[in-house]
Structure 1
Amino acid sequence: MINDIGDLLTNLLFATKKIIPVAIKQSIKDTIYALISIPKTKIYVFRLNKIISDHKKVKGYIIYPPTLDWDYMFQRPQQLARQFAKNGYLFFFCNKSYKSRGFKEVEPNIVTCGADTRKSLSAINDVIVYISWAGHINFFRKLKYTKLIYDYLDSLKVADSKGKGLFKKHIRLVANADLVLVTSDILHKKLLLEGRIKKTILVPNACDFKHFNIKKTINKNFEDINLIVNKNKPIIGYSGAFAEWFDYSLIKYCIKKRPNYEFVLLGATIGSSFHRSILDFPNVNYLGEKRYKVLPYYISCFDVAILPFKINDITRSTSPVKIFEYMASGKPVISTNLPECKKYKIILVSRGKKDFVNNIDRGLGLSRNKNYILKTQMLAKRNTWDKRFNLISKYL
């Protein structure tokens, strides 16, 4: 970019050579090429200092290493970033993609950092480093940090099928962290058994209640879901990732047993795990991944929301963010036998395929029960990101 500016300014000088004296023109050219020769890191340090000077009243600085992109599957790291920003911190969110460039303030007090800016972050003093992947064990060492927060949010097997490659790094992070967050009871117990419970707090996933608590309305901009709604059939919906823990055998069983129900699937496909054969059923509608901004409208069109996960080491440790988003939308929630779902009596937890189908039927009946819907929304309201941050803030 600097080279482009240099070329532009130099060409401008040649175009105006009758106006600018030769000596002055040469001096300006020397300055331009001196700027071009400045290392990019120094240029970004200059821009970084400008950003910091524009946010003089913040409580502190948070840096999140390149784990995912800001606009990818808006989830826990982005939600906590919003909470830090909302509560007076300047949050630097490093995008994972190498296509991301420069600094950009995407929301008040939230600055995304491109791949070319990362080295410049070491210029910030007294930062809090927030890490959610053990593979970033060496990232914080390059920074002038005063506090390290490690968010142990999933089983290590999510990123490493056997979990062995990350385990040593995980142990080192837990030992070095000033505060460890865990999302589920099982992950909490694992740290307890390892004797690493000091400075650890249980912070399950949550929801942005106001974002998802909307009434079902017809929006002409969303033709894909509107076409399904107009069929006037029960809509059984899922929103989330299609990864190795998604139970295709279960969902196919449900689809076959309830051919008069419309099954709507929303979310990103991860790797090669998506079973395209599911699309052969006439009552299956895969609508792809939806932006977080419009996701509440799609979920509002569900009659019942489902969580068809396999039961394994990964899902036993999972705190599903979707259950709270579903409930904020006022939807009955049907899940498989997940430990974190069993904590909430209002969720219809299933202990087999037949039970899951029966609970879908039961959920459809409850979807017309105003008292039940109110209870689901009240539970969601008690599990918001605001409340989770209030817990974290006590340890900052």
Structure 2
Amino acid sequence: MRTAIENQDIICLSTVDWDPIWTRKQQIISRLPLSNRILYVEPPISLLSPFKNKACWKKWPLWWKGLRQWRENIYLYSPPVIAPFGNIYRQVNRLNQAWLAPFIRRAARRLNFREPLLWTYLPNSADIVGRLGEKLVIYDCVDEHSAYSGFRPETVWDMEKSLLEKADIVFTTAEGLYEKRKPFCREIHLIPNAADVDHFQKSVLETTPLAPELKGLPHPVIGFVGVIQDWIDLDLIADLAAARPGWSFVLVGPAGPGVDLKRLHSLPNVHLLGRRNKEVLPSYFKGFDICLNAFRLNRLTATVSPLKFYEYLASGKPVVSVPLPAVEPFADVVEIARTPAEFLKKIEQALTLETPERRKLRLKRAQENSWEQRVAEIMEKIAPKL
């Protein structure tokens, strides 16, 4: 029986641009066999997006550039702008998807695509299914999209249910996502997130240099790596930093639009370094004593499979995390805390109890959760349908 995806044309509708921040989408797509040809469609911006986030202005003219080749078999495409409020009013989304479809078809025709696989991460793509000449629809559900701020939950869930019913196969990253969507699917599988293990394990190598910004910082160094979005518990981090002024708190990653960093900026032992290329991240992990997995506990994070958690494991560093359902199965290798007082206690405990054996155990668990393993599992489920 076929267990790999070979010689296929694939249209991937993603929720994130290809660069600069890599997520599950890029990790999976980039690991598919080279015999496949992939059109990676970046998310369109709305007419209002640049007024909410100035960084979106640079995306405004991108669609005029057409296809951009990233690798011999992967092409990137940024579609034209769309009308706002598509995640609030279903009819607006229908118009948006009808508008986008011919542009995406044209890009696929330029690559001579024939009967592509439609691999989507967007609930609103329910209204583009059937318009791209696809022979198979794959939906990879990575978040509770209806819980996003600024979206109308009823509209987003209505679109997602429609997509679930149309999809030939569905994947989810967390148990909560799986259970909610299972009644609406023909076939569904739970495939959690993972890490680029080989890359992040470089942090344990003697040949990996220490990031220059970390040299001379007082220890312990408590580190966070990732995009700082509104679901990251910045109050928790600020409380910890205020309670332990002799510790260094280092946050590596860009802040999302609207995220308030004023309190963190006011604390002298908090170091906000901004975005760093993924290639150099092991140099930052190398200087951490503890990795902090600090999410707000809400409806969105209850169903999240945090990428950064798996990357923390792969770095070999001790991890202290909030009690996310996706993290609790790793309680044998990480510390779990709920309140600032518990976090302080668990951090001190992790520092005191750290041994080479505990690090080896974390690295072993990370190896069991690599992207190579996840992609093999996903292909094994899809291949028999081709």
What is the TM-score of this pair, normalised by structure 2? 0.81
1:99 is matched with 61
1:280-299, aligned counterparts within 5 Å?
280-299=266-285
Q: Deviation of residue 219 (structure 1)?
A: 7.2
1:165 to 155, 159, 164: 155
- 2:352 equivalent to 1:365: yes
Q: Helix, strand or coil: the match of 1:319? A: coil
| Letter in structure 1 aligned against 2:350 | G
Structure 1, residues 272-307: CA drift from partner, whole Å, max 9, x if none? 123222111110000001122222222222111001
Separation of aligned partners in 1, 2:37 and 2:129: 17
Correspondence 1:210 to 2:198: yes
Asked whether the 8 Å contact 1:216–1:301 carries over to 2, the reply is no
Q: Give the root-mean-square deviation of aligned CA atoms.
A: 2.1
Distance in structure 1 (CA, Å) of the matches to 2:79 and 2:239: 45
Query: Does residue 201 of the first structure (1) align with residue 163 of the second (2)?
Result: no
CA shift for structure 1 position 365 = 2.7
Q: Which amino acid aligns with 2:121?
A: S
Following TM superposition, by how much is the alpha carbon of 1:108 offset from its aligned partner in structure 2, in angstroms? 3.8
Matched, 1:121 2:107: yes
Note the C-alpha offset of 1:241. 2.0
Contact 1:98-1:115 at 8 Å conserved across structures:
no
Q: Give the secondary structure class of the aligned counterpart of 2:229.
A: coil
1:115-173 CA deviation, whole Å, 9 max, x = no partner?
37634135321101111111222233321111111111101213655522211110010
List runs of 5+ in structure 2 lacking aligned partners.
44-58, 81-102
Identify the structure with bigger relative contact order (alpha carbons < 8 Å, sequence gap 6+): 2
Hey, what does 1:29 align to over in structure 2? none
User: What is residue 337 of structure 1 aligned with on the other side?
Assistant: 323
Between the aligned partners of 1:163 and 1:94, the Cα distance in structure 2 is 24
The whole-number CA distance in structure 1 between the counterparts of 2:243 and 2:225 is: 21
Q: Aligned to 1:254, what secondary structure does the other structure show?
A: helix
Query: For residues 73-126 of structure 1, what are the alpha-carbon distances to aligned partners after superposition, in whole Å with 9 as ceiling and x for unaligned?
Result: 210111111122x36321211233343322222134221124376341353211
Question: In the TM superposition, what whole-angstrom CA distance separates every residue of 1:239-286 from its partner, at most 9, and x where no partner exists?
Answer: 122222111221111101211111000112112123222111110000
Paired residue for 2:50? none
Which residue of the partner structure matches residue 174 of structure 2?
184
Distance 1:189 1:114, change over 3 A: closer
**Which residue identity lines up with residue 65 of structure 1 in the other structure?**
L
Q: Does 1:384 align with 2:348?
A: no
Match of 1:90 in 2: 37
Aligned pair in 2 of structure 1 residues 66, 180: CA closer, same or farther (>3 Å)?
closer
CA drift of 1:218 comes to 8.0
User: In structure 2, what is the Cα distance between the partners aligned to 1:73 and 1:146?
Assistant: 30
Give the counterpart letter for 2:229 in structure 1: A
**Change beyond 3 A, Cα 1:326–1:366:** farther
With the length of structure 1 as denominator, give the TM-score of the two structures. Answer: 0.79
Tell me how many residue pairs correspond in the alignment.
Answer: 333
Q: Shift of residue 217 of structure 1? A: 5.5
Say whether 1:80 aligns with 2:28. Answer: yes
State the distance in 1 between where 2:149 and 2:160 align. Answer: 12
Unaligned residue ranges in structure 1 (runs of 5+): 1-56
